[in-house]
Amino acid sequence: MPSLILRRFSFAAFTIGFVSIVMFAAVEALPGNVCTSFLQRFAQGPRLERCIEQQGLERPALVRYGDWAAGAVQGDFGYSLKKRKPISELIRERFRNTALLGGLAALLAIPFAIFLGIAAGVRRDRPLDLSLSGAAMLAMTVPEFVTATALIYVFAITLQWFPAVTIVSPGAGFLQMLPNIVLPVIVLSAVLIAHIMRMMRASVIDVMASDYVQMARLKGVPERRIIWKHVVPNAMIPALNVIALTIAWLLAGVVVVEKVFNYPGLGTLMIQAIYDRDLPLVQAIALIFSVIYVGVNLLADLAALALDPRLRRKGH
Amino acid sequence: MTEPLIKIEDLSLGFTAKDGRQAPILRGLSLELAPGETLGIVGESGSGKSTVALAMMGYLKPGLSVFRGRAVFDGNDMFALPEKQRARLRGSSIALIPQNAGQALTPTLKIGQQIGEALRLHTALTAGERGIKVLELLNRVRLPSPEDIAKRYPHELSGGQQQRAAVAMALAGNAKALLLDEPTTGLDVTTQAHILEFLRSLAKELGVAMIYVSHDLGVIARAADRVAVMYAGMLVEEGPTAEVLRAPNHPYTRGLLASIPRLGEPGIPASMPGMPPAVGSELTACAFIDRCPQARTACRDGVPQLERRGGVRVRCPFAGEPAPEHVTALREPQVQEARALELRDVAISYHKPGLMERWLKKPEPAPTVDRAGFILKKGETLGLVGESGSGKSTILRAIAGLAGTRKGSVTLGDGESLNAPVAGRGRETLRKVQMIFQNADASLNPRQSIGEILMAPLKLYFGLKGAEAQARAEALLEAVRLPARYMPRFPGQLSGGEKQRVGVARAFAANPEVTLCDEVTSALDVSVQAAALALLTRLQKENGSSYIFVSHDLAVVRAVSDRVAVLYQGRICETGPAEQVYAPPYHPYTQTLMGAVLEPDPDTAPILLANDMSEKAPPATGCPFQRRCAKRIGSICDTVVPPAQELQSGHVIHCHIQMSGTEAEKIGVAPELLPAE
């Protein structure tokens, strides 16, 4: 068992290392270098030299990768070209903001979606299931920027309950930030809930038809206990992968939603950095996203290990 | 007679079609069971036997409803009872032992937890007392080291152990009746025999009533006092097991018994023509009329009544008349001297060493199949028998090129090598080796019509197109006795037996030299099985084909094979002409297998020689059967590969015991015996 967990961890670490190499190599493969692509037509003379010196571009690529990777492990991603500040400083608050937004969305959506999925699966084809499945279909088909705009129109412009766009500074306190994240969290959760609920529903229906649930009924186990003891743990196992995949979608959704609400998170920073051709910053944010992605999948793997005794055998 | 424990009165149940028509699955069934009695309910798929058993618990599968009648258990009308009280009876007074314990145990809960749950629901024990009781129950079902088993998850137990754990769970609530739904189907013969002997002794010990539901008359013959034969949702015959099996009255019972292959009788058993009426269809005549050799016009006048004839109830007014004899058709093989296929010293391994194992140079585990060698002559059938994991399917897969060989050679009669995997074989080579699969359902593309399925190999191998291919496909259907109007149909519209016929026709479309039959009749009902065996035999005679016939069913292999190889853990234990392999002297493993076979004969009892432990991997050295052998002679069995002892005309036994002194140990007839556990 501990060796299995260790193996999962080392595999995750290996994946992140590999992603970092690919990302670094991609930037290297671009014509010119970080400084020429940033400075464009001003890439000459002392400006270019200063930039090259600051970024340490005169050193061989392998050494720079080693430096960059070693720094990243300690939270140091180098200097932003545009903002002329250490990237770690730029990112710190924005990371907190995005984590707040995405984390809250995931934290609310996942348990809620699982619960709804169970309810819909248990009451298959009855009014509750039909209305939930219909709503999920709708939430999945409407793109999030449309949902966001509609919510802004209703709750921000007409009812004026929440601000339409965020106008506080990235470093604002939690309470100040709170009214600004209500609408973005709703937009993000809607799609999350829809996907996870549908998977959970299908999975619950499968398990409800299994021999062991029939056996539990014939053993005289009350329905409520059947659902929580025999159905839910088994239905969760296939749903876990979908949850992990949906969280990956959440990372992309965060970028769009942050942009629509002008929310000061990593997403808006990333879009800005791309506009500015600030490659070190883009690299840093992309690496953070990939760490989150791998981390979430690792969590899903570990949760599956905890739920499914069949996976805990040796040789898996 | 004392007050019956279970009383089913004129019970009709089924589903209601969209147009409001009632489609019955059970049609006015009445049945009684006294306390402590053992009843066997036997029938083919769709006969409603499982539905009866579940009705005794007041359980209906989703979508079904009761039309008429009642099911009374211990004075309770099960369908009228409020859900709460019904739930209290289920699992306590009347408990189910499921068909497939592996799937009926919740995979995420430990064995101890699942038995504990039943105790929590049906007894007033405290948590601590429950823990002790769980161990007691596991001990009672004779599972080794109960403490360890209680902490395991279902998948960590072998099939036989899972079945025992399910029995322990059923015993948790002091049951008065145990329902056993195909309790041993899917288990190996030796495990089946052990579980059955255990259940018999348990019934005696506890005095509980037992209801066995099975398609296997051999199981019923061994386990049940009384037998109820079901057909199309009705009882057709019911009475004491010995009486019914010795002198069956109803033509269906006779046909069923005649269609079962026997160990002692070579040749293809008689099959019943036709099919039972569709589930839920309306009946205006005797349900068996289309398949009955004694049918006459009087049989069309409504459904016959169940009539008492001595100790037996029979649903046939003409049961007293002398019945036409069912005869087994002896095969007349035309075996030629020329070879169709030869395997020489073949080893097959699924093991792929990982990166770490290669670095550390870990020793490879013993291969799945080793030292496999045989010759298949033209026009001959070679049967491969053995329990699950014996490597019989693996050998077929290697011949078909689906599994790679590690060592040795596989060659066709003309010397052409079959060592290449299926992707590396030429079209002509592919044509020469065809396979018929166990599960016809899964091996036919559900989106292709029967015509398309049959014309694909015709086009691939012979370049036939259009009307020519059409005509050839129709001829193939004709050869497997299916009408040409089946051409546009899809596999989903065919019955199991018909699908298997299409599978056979597809293999023959290639006009192969060697046909590999992998458990081709295992998923079929016995009456359909007999027809499928007859079909294969006829096609062999017509085309001079050579078969390798793989099955776990020794009697089926006996029926169709000229030569037989007995496999254990991927090693051949015994090989030779069928009549010599099925007669003494035996390899100890062959003897174990033969002894465990249950025949539908009330006068035989299984002989349990070896224990039913299941082995995951073959031993690294010595005899493959060393760990279970009842006749082990010493350390030589563990270290030295047993020599091949040739007895006569190609009968070879791989064993250290000197076989030449013919010890005539009879198999199949035994005195009343104690379970050898």
| Contact assessment for residue B252 and residue B319, using Cβ atoms and an 8 Å cutoff | no
Interface of B with A in 57-96 (CB under 8 A): 57, 59, 87-92, 95-96
What is the C-alpha separation between B548 and B564, in angstroms, rounded? Answer: 10
- The minimum CA-CA distance between A220 and chain B, rounded to whole Å, is 4
CA of B55 vs chain A CAs: smallest distance (Å)? 11
- The number of residues making up chain A comes to 316
Q: What are the tens digits of pLDDT across the range B530-573?
A: 988 999 999 998 888 899 999 999 999 999 999 999 999 999 99
Q: Do B121 and A219 make contact, defined as CB atoms within 8 angstroms?
A: yes
DSSP state of B447: T
Q: What is the pLDDT of residue A15?
A: 93
Chain B residues touching A218 at Cβ < 8 A = 54, 57, 59, 90-91, 95-96
Cβ distance B16 to B66 under 8 Å?
no
Who's near B150: CB < 8 A, 6+ residues apart? Answer: B110, B111, B112, B115, B134, B135, B138
Per-residue pLDDT, B661? 53
* Whether B54 and A222 lie within 8 Å, measured CB to CB: no
Is A233's Cβ below 8 Å from some Cβ in B? yes
| Angle value at C-alpha A281, between A277 and A282, nearest 5 degrees | 65
CB contact under 8 A, A233 and B108: yes
Q: What are phi and psi of B550, to 5 degrees?
A: -100, 130
Candidates A206, A215, A312, partner chain B, best to mutate (most B CBs within 10 A): A215
Buried b (16+ CB within 10 A) or exposed e, B438-467: bbbbebbeeeebbbebbbbbbeebeebeee
Report d(CA A118, CA B313) in Å as an integer. Answer: 49
User: B665 falls in which pLDDT band (50, 70, 90)?
Assistant: very low
The rounded percent of chain B whose pLDDT value lies above 70 is 97
Q: List phi, psi (to 5°) of B86.
A: -65, -45
Q: From A265, A231, A238, select the one nearest A105 (Cα to Cα).
A: A265
**Between A and B, how many residue pairs show a Cβ–Cβ distance under 8 A?**
77
Among the listed residues B403, B442, B443, the one whose alpha carbon sits nearest the alpha carbon of residue B421: B403
Count Cα neighbours of B645 within 13 Å in the Cβ-side half-sphere.
Answer: 15
Chain A residues within an 8 Å CB radius of B98: 211, 215
Q: Is A272 within 8 Å of chain B by CB?
A: no
Q: Are B564 and B383 in contact (CB under 8 A)?
A: yes
Average pLDDT over residues B144-151: 89
Nearest-angstrom CA–CA distance, A133 and B176? 45
Name the pLDDT band for A313 (thresholds 50, 70, 90): low
If one counts every other C-beta atom within 10 angstroms of the C-beta of residue A28, the result is 12
Q: Is the pLDDT score of B663 beyond 60?
A: no
pLDDT at B477 over 50: yes
pLDDT given at position B1: 52
Question: Cβ of B108 and A214 within 8 Å?
Answer: no
Looking up tokens 């007839």 gives B669
Any CB–CB contact under 8 A between B106 and chain A? Answer: yes
Specify the pLDDT at position A315.
42
Per residue in B200-233, pLDDT tens? 998 888 889 999 999 889 999 999 999 999 999 9
Q: Which two tokens stand for residue B597?
A: 């076979």
Q: Is the pLDDT at B355 greater than 80, yes or no? A: no
Q: Which of A212, A221, A310 shows the shortest C-beta gap to B105?
A: A212
Cα B195 to Cα B181: distance, rounded to the nearest angstrom: 14
What number of CA atoms fall less than 13 Å from residue B255's CA on the CB side? 29
Residue found by looking up tokens 């499945």 in the block: A133
* DSSP reduced 3-state for B90: strand
Whether A211 and B104 lie within 8 Å, measured CB to CB? yes
Identify which of B154, B92, B95, B160 has the alpha carbon closest to the alpha carbon of residue B123.
B92
Tell me what pLDDT residue B435 has: 93
Do B34 and B176 form a contact (C-beta atoms < 8 A)? no
Which uninterrupted H or E stretch holds B178? strand B177-181
Residues B411-448: tens digit of each pLDDT: 998 889 998 888 889 999 999 999 999 888 889 999 99
- Helix locations, B544-635, DSSP H: 554-560, 578-581, 588-596
Distance, CA of A58 to CA of A257 (rounded, Å): 39
Report the pLDDT averaged over residues B595-614.
84
HSE at residue A205, side-chain half, CA atoms within 13 A, is 13
What pLDDT does B512 receive? 93
User: What would the pLDDT profile of A244-273 be if each residue is shown by its tens digit?
Assistant: 888 888 888 888 888 888 888 898 899 988
Whether the model pTM is above 0.95: no
Q: In the predicted model, what is the mean pLDDT of residues A136-164?
A: 87
The Cα–Cα gap between B5 and B34 comes to 5
CA distance A234 to chain B (A): 7
> Which of A210, A220, A237 is opposite residue B103, by nearest beta carbon?
A210
- Is residue A60 reached through a cis peptide bond, with omega within 30 degrees of 0 on the bond before it? no
Q: How far apart are CA B195 and CA B155, in angstroms?
A: 19
Predicted confidence band of residue A147 (pLDDT cuts 50, 70, 90): confident
**Percentage of chain B modeled with pLDDT above 90:** 49
A 10 A CB-CB count for B28 gives 17
Rounded to the nearest angstrom, the gap between the alpha carbon of residue B324 and the centroid of all alpha carbons in its chain is 28
Quick one: average pLDDT of A107-111? 91
Amino acid at B342: E
**Encoded tokens for B330:** 């002896």
User: How far is B199 from B598, CA to CA, in rounded Å?
Assistant: 15
pLDDT digits over B575-597, tens only?
999 999 998 888 999 999 999 99
Give me the residue from A215, A222, A313 closest to B98, CB to CB.
Answer: A215
Compute the average pLDDT of residues A148-166: 86
User: Would you call B25 an interface residue with chain A, using a CB distance cutoff of 8 Å?
Assistant: no
Region B160-170: mean pLDDT is 89
Please check the confidence at residue B674 and state whether its pLDDT lies above 70: no
Q: Is the pLDDT of residue B476 over 70?
A: yes
Question: What does the pLDDT read at residue A161?
Answer: 87
Calculate the average pLDDT of chain A. 87
Q: Between β-strands B226-231 and B234-240, what pairing exists: parallel, antiparallel or unpaired?
A: antiparallel
> What is residue B490's predicted lDDT score, i.e. its pLDDT?
92
Is A219 touching B (CB cutoff 8 A)?
A: yes
Q: Which of A184-188, B169-173, B513-517 reaches the highest mean pLDDT?
A: B513-517
Give A218 to chain B, closest Cα distance, Å.
6
Q: Which of B330-339, B445-454, B500-509 has the lowest mean pLDDT?
A: B330-339
C-beta atoms of A219 and B153 within 8 A: no
Rounded-to-integer distance, Cα A81 and Cα A279, Å:
8
The residue of chain B nearest to residue A314, with distances taken between CA atoms, is B156
Residues B315 and B306: beta-carbon distance below 8 Å:
yes
Please answer yes or no on whether A211 and B99 come within 8 Å at the CB atom: yes
d(CA B348, CA B366): 10
CA B317 to chain CA mean position, Å: 33
Query: At residue B675, does pLDDT exceed 50?
Result: no
Map residue B249 onto helix, strand or coil. Answer: coil
pLDDT tens-digit series, residues B240-296: 999 999 999 999 999 999 999 998 888 899 888 878 888 888 888 999 988 888 888
CB of A23 within 8 Å of any CB in chain B? no
Give which of B203, B245, B204, B224 is closest to B40, Cα–Cα: B224
Strand partners, B70: B9
pLDDT number for residue B671: 39
Give the C-alpha separation, B347 to B369, whole Å: 5
Q: Looking at beta carbons, which residues of chain B come within 8 Å of A219?
A: 90-91, 95-96, 117-118, 121, 169
A131-164 b/e (C-beta count within 10 Å ≥ 16 → b) = ebbeebeebeeeebeebbeebbeebbeeeeebbb
Q: Under a CB-based contact definition with an 8 Å cutoff, are residues B17 and B281 in contact?
A: no
Tokens standing for residue B391 = 């490597």
Round the CA-based radius of gyration of chain A to a whole number and report it. 24
Query: pLDDT at position B667, please?
Result: 45
* Per-residue confidence band for B73, with pLDDT thresholds at 50, 70 and 90: very high
At B75, the amino acid letter reads G
Whether residues B107 and A216 touch (CB distance < 8 A) is answered with no
Alpha helices in B544-668 (DSSP H): 554-560, 578-581, 588-596, 636-639
Q: Give the angle subtended at the CA of A122 by the CAs of A116 and A127, to the nearest 5°.
A: 75
Q: What 3-state class would DSSP assign to A61?
A: helix
Which chain A positions have a beta carbon within 8 Å of B123's beta carbon? none
- Residue A44: Cβ-neighbour burial (10 angstroms; 0-12, 13-18, 19+): exposed
B285 close to A (CB below 8 A):
no
Lowest-pLDDT choice from A72-81, A91-100, A170-179, B363-372:
A170-179
pLDDT band at A1 (very low <50, low <70, confident <90, very high): low
Helix or strand or coil: residue B308?
strand
Are A214 and B91 an interchain contact pair (Cβ–Cβ within 8 Å)? Answer: no
Token pair 């009872």 is found at B81
ipTM score of complex:
0.78
* pLDDT for the residue A308: 87
- Whole-number mean pLDDT of chain B? 88
* Token representation of residue B145: 């080291």
* C-alpha to C-alpha distance for B457 and B470, rounded to whole angstroms: 12
Q: Supply angle C-alpha A147, A149, A153, rounded to 5.
A: 115
Mean pLDDT, residues A283-287 taken together = 90
Planar angle of CA B524, B213, B162, nearest 5 degrees? 90
